[in-house]
Amino acid sequence: MVRYYLSKTDVEDLVVGAAILGTGGGGDPYIGKLMVLQELERGRKIEIVSADEVDNDAFVVPVAAMGTPVVLVEKIPSGKEALFSLKLLENYFNRKVDFISPIEAGGINSTIPLVVGAERGLPVIDADGMGRAFPELQMVTLHIHGIKATPMAISDERGNAAILDTIDNYWAERIARVITVRYGGSAWIAIYPTFGKPYKEAAIRGSISLAIEIGRALRETKSAGKNPIDALLDVTHGFELFRGKIVDVQRFNIGGFARGEAVIDGLDDYKGSKLIIRFQNENLVAIRDNEIIASVPDLITVLDSESGRPITTERLRYGLRVLVIGIPCNEKWRTPKGLETVGPRYFGYNIDYVPIEVRIKGVSKP
């Protein structure tokens, strides 16, 4: 389908799938879902269009929330906040936006564009800038392809606003981050304004559909009484990494990020083994018995063992029984520029990136 309107079931599936792709970040899927369902109940429509439908000279602007996800849980958004940033950018350019887009996959950030699309009647492109979630503004495939993050708009729920125009995308991240912290920990952004042609070259296509497909696979296999995890690994081309019980969670809000780690004691086949997951908004590395078994840019997602639901980093807590899976990232991230931007070394891990499908072969599986 090149153009379709989201159903309520699509939204339910999408938030589950997006949270799995969100690798622990991108905010709480439940809040994101409520925001979108509210729009549908008001009779508004949300149109998803394939990237192929976007004219080369169309004006495309991704919209998102920025900040520590735990703050977004505490400050429930009204849905108008991101629209305000979009309007600021339209005023700045003196041009109406033709299409909006998610910048990343994740609970809130997959649904913000849907809310904006519903409110403004704007089509949402079935693509994003990550194919997953990452913590910093330059960590998008649009950056890899040379698109500027600025001019960007950044606003808060009070009505404070700023338009940033920086010399590079790292400076956009630095300045937007301190503003986000000063706003109280979360902000609403319209960013990477660009045209259809560069957008189509740079974005990761089909990511909204993929999220829906993942959510649907989980739902259908569960209702059929089958094992949803097998279906999940099948549709994502992922791998089971670990099963266990969370025995410790450390979390600090530092510099506008939720950083920390979770320690998981192995259960079942993994008994006697320990897995540590380190995160910065998103899960960055999975370390099993002192050996890294998965790292950025590949996806590491923690699921509730019983429900099969993804658990965002702010919801990790002692006692939860979890399943950890790894999913190969999009090929754009495996290029030299991609790995320079989001590889393990950027995050301070002094290791080479090894694709998860290669790593997993070397790990002794029970």
Written as one string, the DSSP assignment of 175-195 is: HHHHHHHHHTSEEEEE---EE
Contact 245, 263 (CB under 8 A): no
> Segment near a second copy (CB under 8 A), from 110-118, 175-183, 206-214, 310-318?
175-183
The only residue of 86, 114, 116, 179 in contact with a second copy, by rule CB under 8 A: 179
Distance CA 242, CA 263 (A): 12
Shortest Cβ distance from residue 133 to a second copy (Å)? Answer: 24
Assess 75 for contact with a second copy (CB under 8 A).
no
Assess 178 for contact with a second copy (CB under 8 A).
yes
Shortest Cβ distance from residue 166 to a second copy (Å)? Answer: 5
| Strand 47-49 relative to strand 124-125, pairing | parallel
Binding mask 324-353 for a second copy (x = CB under 8 A): ------------------------------
Contact 166, 172 (CB under 8 A): yes
Residue 50 or 160 with smaller CB distance to a second copy: 160
Judged by CB under 8 A, the chain residues 82 through 101 that form the site for a second copy are 88, 92
Q: Nearest 10 degrees: CA dihedral of 15, 153, 333, 316?
A: -40
Residue 155 or 207 with smaller CB distance to a second copy: 155
Assess 171 for contact with a second copy (CB under 8 A).
yes
For residue 179, the cross-strand partners are none
Residue 13 or 90 with smaller CB distance to a second copy: 90
Residue 64 or 175 with smaller CB distance to a second copy: 175
Assess 182 for contact with a second copy (CB under 8 A).
yes
How many residues line the site for a second copy (CB under 8 A)?
A: 19
Residue 108 or 181 with smaller CB distance to a second copy: 181
Assess 164 for contact with a second copy (CB under 8 A).
yes
Task: Give the count of beta carbons closer than 10 Å to the beta carbon of residue 254.
Answer: 11
The only residue of 30, 34, 98, 162 in contact with a second copy, by rule CB under 8 A: 162
Shortest Cβ distance from residue 287 to a second copy (Å)? Answer: 32
The only residue of 40, 115, 181, 264 in contact with a second copy, by rule CB under 8 A: 181
> Angle 258-315-64 (CA atoms, 0-180°, nearest 5)?
55
The only residue of 158, 290, 319, 362 in contact with a second copy, by rule CB under 8 A: 158
Dihedral sign for Cα 224, 225, 228, 230, please.
negative
Residue 104 or 136 with smaller CB distance to a second copy: 136
Residue 45 or 95 with smaller CB distance to a second copy: 95
Please name which of 218, 203, 221, 216 lies closest in space to residue 325, comparing C-alpha atoms: 218
Written as one string, the DSSP assignment of 94-160 is: TS--SEEEESS-STTTTTHHHHHHHHHT--EESEESSSS--SSTT-SHHHHTT----SEEEE-TTS-
Distance CA 245, CA 304 (A): 10
Contact 51, 57 (CB under 8 A): no
Contact 113, 36 (CB under 8 A): no
Binding mask 12-31 for a second copy (x = CB under 8 A): --------------------
Shortest Cβ distance from residue 150 to a second copy (Å)? Answer: 9
Assess 159 for contact with a second copy (CB under 8 A).
yes
> Segment near a second copy (CB under 8 A), from 161-169, 228-236, 272-280, 357-365?
161-169
Contact 332, 204 (CB under 8 A): yes
Enumerate binding residues for a second copy (CB under 8 A).
88, 92, 158-167, 171, 174-175, 178-179, 181-182
